[in-house]
Amino acid sequence: MRRNQKVLYKSVFVIIILLSLTTTPVYSDLKSGLTGKVVDGNDKGIEGVTIKATLSNKIITQGYDSFTTTTDVDGKFSFTNLFPFSSYQLEFWHKKWSRKEKEITVSVTTPPHGETFEIEQSIIIEKILNEKSEIINPQTGGKRFIKSINGIISDSLRGIQWYIASNDGMDWNRANQMVIELTTAGGGWRMPSLKELKSLYVQGLGSKNLPSPFQFNGTWVWTKEAVGSSDARGFLFNEGKAFTGLRSNNRGRVFAVRP
């Protein structure tokens, strides 16, 4: 009886080992791809951006934890060995950048084994701070906004110029007329679009959530965008929000931009 028991135990032990060997997945054969593009505020690709993909689920076997790639001359990048059906965090860095803010991150989910997922929308990077809390040009690493002695603020990324036309509150019609008639540095000024004003907003930067050259006496600025027969749009820098209000509101500040 004891001999039969020993044989039985040995047989069960062997069967368990065989089952464990045959059911263990071969993770090294599982691969999925990911492609995308990194651009600046002008939709121009940024070359040389280092992108690190880190696996969010650390339970998965080793070998898929982290991968690194670099954008090409058009700002395009690709990964080919990511773990399928998994969440990855993408972090972006460039040797020309030196920031104090948190890492720029994007969350993505990989496709099934053997497939490649393309991030349809370009990843826009345009608000990067240096060690002095100044916004830099992501293409060059140099200061993005430079203010001249006559108050003209040049944007090296977008290729436009800004001017704080009035620190006094005024209604939209008066503000629009003032900018049209502005002759500073040769004229040619206009009211900014909502998109242009939003491009200046950086939460927590300075007292107004704005780069230092744009500090002004107020909380919001008019845009050029009229709505209906009596309204216009403005942007609240203290809240980072756009709004639509009466053009007769005389508390809006005035920025000018060209071209």
pTM as predicted? 0.78
Evaluate whether residue 10 is within a structural domain. Answer: no
Residue 162 and residue 112 in one domain: no
Cα 168 from Cα 175, distance rounded (Å) = 10
Residue 51 and residue 151 in one domain: no
Residue 116 and residue 149 in one domain: no
Residue 87 and residue 162 in one domain: no
CATH, residue 216: 3.10.100.10
Evaluate whether residue 75 is within a structural domain. Answer: yes
| Residue 131 pLDDT grade (very low, low, confident, very high; cuts 50, 70, 90) | confident
Residue 102 and residue 151 in one domain: no
Evaluate whether residue 13 is within a structural domain. Answer: no
State yes or no: pLDDT of 149 exceeds 50.
yes
Residue 119 and residue 162 in one domain: no
Residue 202 and residue 247 in one domain: yes
- For the stretch 176-212, pLDDT in tens is 999 999 999 999 999 999 999 999 999 989 889 999 9
Range of the domain at 200: 144-258
Evaluate whether residue 12 is within a structural domain. Answer: no
pLDDT (average), residues 172-179: 97
State yes or no: pLDDT of 15 exceeds 50.
no
Residue 173 and residue 115 in one domain: no
Evaluate whether residue 15 is within a structural domain. Answer: no
Alpha carbon distances (Å) from 49 to 34, 45, 97, 246:
16, 10, 10, 44
Whether 213 contacts 147, CB under 8 Å: yes
Total tally of structural domains belonging to the chain:
2
- For the stretch 28-68, pLDDT in tens is 678 999 999 999 989 999 999 999 999 987 766 678 889 99
Residue 173 and residue 68 in one domain: no
